[in-house]
A and B are shown apart, each in its own frame.
Chain A
Amino acid sequence: MNPAMLVATCGRVLRQLRSDPRSIALILVVPALLLAVVYFLYENETLPPGAPRTFDRVGLMMLAIFPFVVMFLVTSITMLRERTSGTLERLLTTPIHKADLLFGYALAFSLMAALQACVATAIAYWTFDLAIEGSPGLVVMVAVVNAVLGVALGLLCSAFARTEFQAVQFMPVVVVPQILLCGLFVARDDMNEILEAVSGVLPLTYSVDALFEIAGNSEPTAQLWSDIAVIGAVIVAVLLLASLTLRRRTS
């Protein structure tokens, strides 16, 4: 690995993003708008005394799911363009190491995700009075880890798409099942055995569990760190798989 090439790649990806201000605006503003929708959706719910608001649960989960979905899409499209425009093949004839390229991407998009998570979290806390036990810093951390997960999966999926249209179709395949089964809609304990087992191997499940840990405890728990470790391991495995799809020599 060569840090200079990694940094150059990260800078290049960010420069490409900067040339598209509309996308940046969408990335930063849309989560806040959707949070507002969820907030007003549950505005008039009647709660037994002492029960947490639904917004505190759903809003919190959304903070972590946005970066995952958005970065998955952004990465798979950007990487697909790189593959189809010939720039990837050209890059792979230069001394750049595949890891420099993949981590350059991951770094650039996680910076963007951190920004997105900060904006969304700030709005959740200050505008909508999100009430949880743990610190907002940990929420942002989980959001960034999720974004990197989205980047890794996007890099991998881009190898299986030939067009941008196909790349977008991977979202229902890769992202939606994870959102359905992550424990947000139905607690994992209430699922049937098969769905619970599937849920247990999907990385987003661990993000949601990590968020529940943050919501319920004022200090970070061991369970939180073990959840993060599981997601980290999945990220590394997916990036390794993605690096196998970058071939210097093709037929």
Chain B
Amino acid sequence: MTAQRAAEPDAVEVSGLMINRGRHRVLTDLSFTLPSGRITGLLGPSGSGKTTLMRAIVGAQRIGGGSVVVLGRAAGHPSLRRRVGYMTQDPSVYPDLTVEANVRYFGAMAGAGRRDAQAAVDAVGLSDLRRRKARDLSGGQFSRVSLACALVARPVLLVLDEPTVGLDPVLRVDLWNRFAALAAEGTTLIISSHVMEEAGRCDSLLLLREGRLLAQLTPQELRRRGATDDLELAFLRLIQAQNAGVAS
């Protein structure tokens, strides 16, 4: 299984990526590759550039330098629109439509039918609420509608910006199990979070801070390098070690 995976081309190759917003530099010289069929956690504090990086990968962000190659094509290539799914951080669904109507509309963009829409609604645990208007839902339910709209297209690469914020712990575990199942089927997932405990569910981590890539490693490596099981603390120690290195 591992050998087979290793033979697959990388899902995402980023090299020398620079992104500016106005005069402000948001991302500085990012280079990394992400293997197919894995869950990559994108972690870092608010304002570290996670969302900008995700937008660059889905091709919605104008880049200032370097390259982003997704599934063998330049990010944003028209052929990728069928293969890449994106869930934005602020749930982007139509509040005046029902859950079902939202998912079916985004499904229609991918040629998915009623049954696929149903499956996506079930997957995020909103079956009982599928005829409710999105605006009548709670914040967590609302963002799950947005997630279902990304799942319904069955993309090869799924880019999820903070999909589990504000969710009930039971549901959060459910969703992470679903992500693992998708990865086992060969889907590549990039999931951002600022909750370090979720990092443990990822196959590998990209640690971002102030627009720079601090490290790319597995959760095990992070624990080892931070000499603690607490991922939050390990991240902190990594930052401190880096700062000490710069200072000396």
Contact = CB atoms under 8 A, between A and B. Distances in A.
B81 A93 contact: yes
Interface in B132-187: 133, 149, 153
A16 B58 CA distance: 27
A250 B76 CA distance: 11
B60 A250 contact: yes
A222 B108 CA distance: 42
Nearest to B91: A86
Contacts of B97: 12, 15-16, 19
B22 to A, nearest CB: 8
B108 A4 contact: yes
Contact of A93 (B58, B90, B111): B58
Contacts of A94: 81, 106, 109-110, 153
Tell me which of B76, B92, B109 has the highest count of chain A C-beta atoms within 10 A of its own C-beta. B109
B96 A90 contact: no
Contact of B59 (A19, A85, A93): A93
Interface string A79-96: 000000111011111111
Interface string A227-251: 0000000000000000000001111
Interface residues of B, number: 31
Tell me which of A95, A96, A250 has the highest count of chain B C-beta atoms within 10 A of its own C-beta. A95
A8 interface: yes
Given A93-B59, A250-B60, A12 B105 contact: yes
B152 to A, nearest CB: 11
Nearest to A85: B92
A3 B105 CA distance: 14
A19 B108 contact: no
A93 B150 CA distance: 11
Contacts of A9: 105
A251 B81 contact: no
B62 interface: yes
Interface in A3-34: 4-5, 8-9, 11-12, 15-16, 19-20
A24 to B, nearest CB: 13
Given A248-B60, A248-B76, A250-B62, A90 B92 contact: yes
B59 A5 contact: no
B109 A89 contact: no
B127 to A, nearest CB: 20
Interface in B71-106: 76, 78, 81-82, 84, 86, 88, 90, 92-97, 101, 105-106
B92 A95 contact: no
B149 to A, nearest CB: 8
A12 B20 CA distance: 36
B61 interface: yes
B200 to A, nearest CB: 29
Contact of A8 (B21, B92, B108): B108
A250 B59 contact: no
Tell me which of A4, A16, A248, A251 has the highest count of chain B C-beta atoms within 10 A of its own C-beta. A251
Nearest to A86: B92
A16 B94 contact: yes
A150 to B, nearest CB: 21
Given A12-B105, A86-B88, A93 B153 contact: no
Nearest to B79: A95
16 contacts: A8-B109, A11-B105, A12-B105, A86-B90, A89-B60, A90-B86, A90-B88, A90-B149, A93-B58, A93-B59, A93-B81, A95-B81, A95-B82, A249-B61, A249-B62, A249-B76
Given A16-B97, A94-B153, A95-B81, 9 more contacts: A5-B109, A8-B109, A89-B92, A90-B86, A90-B92, A90-B106, A94-B81, A95-B78, A96-B109
Which 9 A/B pairs are nearest by Cβ-Cβ distance? A86-B92, A8-B108, A94-B109, A251-B62, A90-B92, A95-B81, A19-B96, A12-B105, A87-B92
